[in-house]
Each structure stands twice: as structure tokens, then as C-alpha cells.
Amino acid sequence: MAVPFSAGLQDLVEAAARPEAARTPSPERAASASSATRLASQPELARGTLVVDLTRAIFNVEGEPQRAAFGQIVCTADALEGVDFVRFQVDGESTEVQVDSGATSGPVTCARDYQRLQPAPD
């Protein structure tokens, strides 16, 4: 049974879409993404998988900035108690996301799928 999950993810989603977080080259696209990217529905946690449902505005950025935005959400969510994996939806439909190795529609983790966002070891 999935349960609603509230841990400030709306703030996280908005932060991940900001130009400085995603390194978006186009100010117009960055402004569009940061002002429009929202949760389409309340995140739900079931058996360790957090389902994050975003609006289509996440696609206002492309390539590396989009991968970084998804990765920022995943790496932050991974640190939350009870979250082992993150799965994305857009407007209620499962969607592929860009990870370090390409695209996947499966559950993702920071350590496995967004290694480039992790700090370098000392």
C-alpha cells in the first residue's frame, strides 16, 4: 500500500529546476522550468520506492541540465528515511529519465545512477 510522503519535495523540485542547479545555458528555458516545474501529485512511498510525479515543465530543460535536475531530486530523496529508490512520473504517467548511463524508466538511486553528482572522494 502506497502512503503519501511529505518531506518538502516541492521545494526540492523547484530548486532542482533552477538554472544554477541544472546549469541551464538558456535563461528563457531556465526561467520557464524554475517557475513551472511542480509536483503533479503528492509523492507516495511504497516498499522503499518513492514515486515523484512532476509536471511536464521538467521537459523545458534538456540534456545535461535535465539529467542534473532529476539527479538532484534523486540524490536528496535517497537521503530521506525509508527511501531506497525513486521512480518518476510526469502528469501521472511513468516516464523515462536520463541517468549517467542513458535513459531508464525503472527505479533509480543516487549511488548507482547519478555518480557524477556525488562529491569526489577525499
75-95 pLDDT per residue, tens: 988 888 899 999 999 999 999
Helix, strand or coil, per DSSP, at residue 44: strand
Distance between CA 52 and CA 54 in Å, rounded?
6
Give this prediction's pTM.
0.76
For residue 16, what pLDDT band results from cuts at 50, 70 and 90? low
Is a pLDDT exceeding 60 seen at residue 109?
A: yes
Is a pLDDT exceeding 70 seen at residue 15?
A: no
Q: Count how many Cα atoms sit within 13 Å of the Cα of residue 74 in the half-sphere of its side chain.
A: 28
